[in-house]
Structure formats: structure tokens, C-alpha cells
Amino acid sequence: MHETGQGAFVASYKATRPIELWALDSDVPPLGDPCSDTDDQSTPWATGAVHVTYTDNDLFASMTRMNVFGDRGEGTVFDADGAAWHYSRTSRFQLNQDGEFIVVHDDINLKKRGN
């Protein structure tokens, strides 16, 4: 992390992190509450590891410029049957000087390997 001349802190990191993917229960509306949306299950649908990179050009939202931030992750997860899946996620957001929050890009992909 480093500070710019305008008082904004620029930050980035790279890491490999574990990931769990859970299927949503059929008896609840999607995306209500992660705990209750998956409470009928005892284990995740798939697990694995993802290499993640994150950047933020104004970490503490100094509002001295357009704040652009987001992450990208890519890796492999394995379902309960041992099948490998390619997982990727890309998200990019903006917070402009007027405080308006904009979703620039938010995408998750999951593709079975070997198909």
C-alpha cells in the first residue's frame, strides 16, 4: 500500500485462497441469507483453491478522485464426485467523487473440465 500526493491510499494484493461453493436450497428465495439459503446441506457442493488478485486506487475512499476497485480469481474446484471444475470471478466497481456506486463488471464462471 502507498499514499498518493492527493491523500489516497493505493492497495493491491495477490494470494491463493481456499474456496467453498454451496448449492442454494430449493425451499428458499435465492440470495436471502447465505446461512439459511444453504442450511439443508452439511457439506459444500465443491471445494478447491483460487488465485486472487485485488486492486484499489483509493482504499479508504478519500473522494479526491474516482475510486476504482475490484478483484479477479481463478482456480479449480472439485465436486463431491471428484470432477474438476474451472472457476473464475471478475468484479470491478467504481465510486465517483459524488459518491455514486457503479458496478462496472461482476461475473462468475464455472465450467466442468474436460467438456
pLDDT of residue 31: 65
pLDDT of residue 93: 96
In whole angstroms, give the CA distance from residue 45 to residue 47. Answer: 7
User: Quick one: pLDDT band at residue 79, thresholds 50, 70, 90?
Assistant: very high
pTM beyond 0.75: the answer is: yes
User: Quick one: pLDDT band at residue 99, thresholds 50, 70, 90?
Assistant: confident
List, in sequence order, every residue forming a beta bridge with 79; answer none if it has no partner.
Answer: 46
Query: Mean pLDDT, to the nearest integer, of 8-35?
Result: 84
Domain range annotation of the chain: 2-112
For CA atoms 58, 63, 67, 69, give the dihedral sign: positive
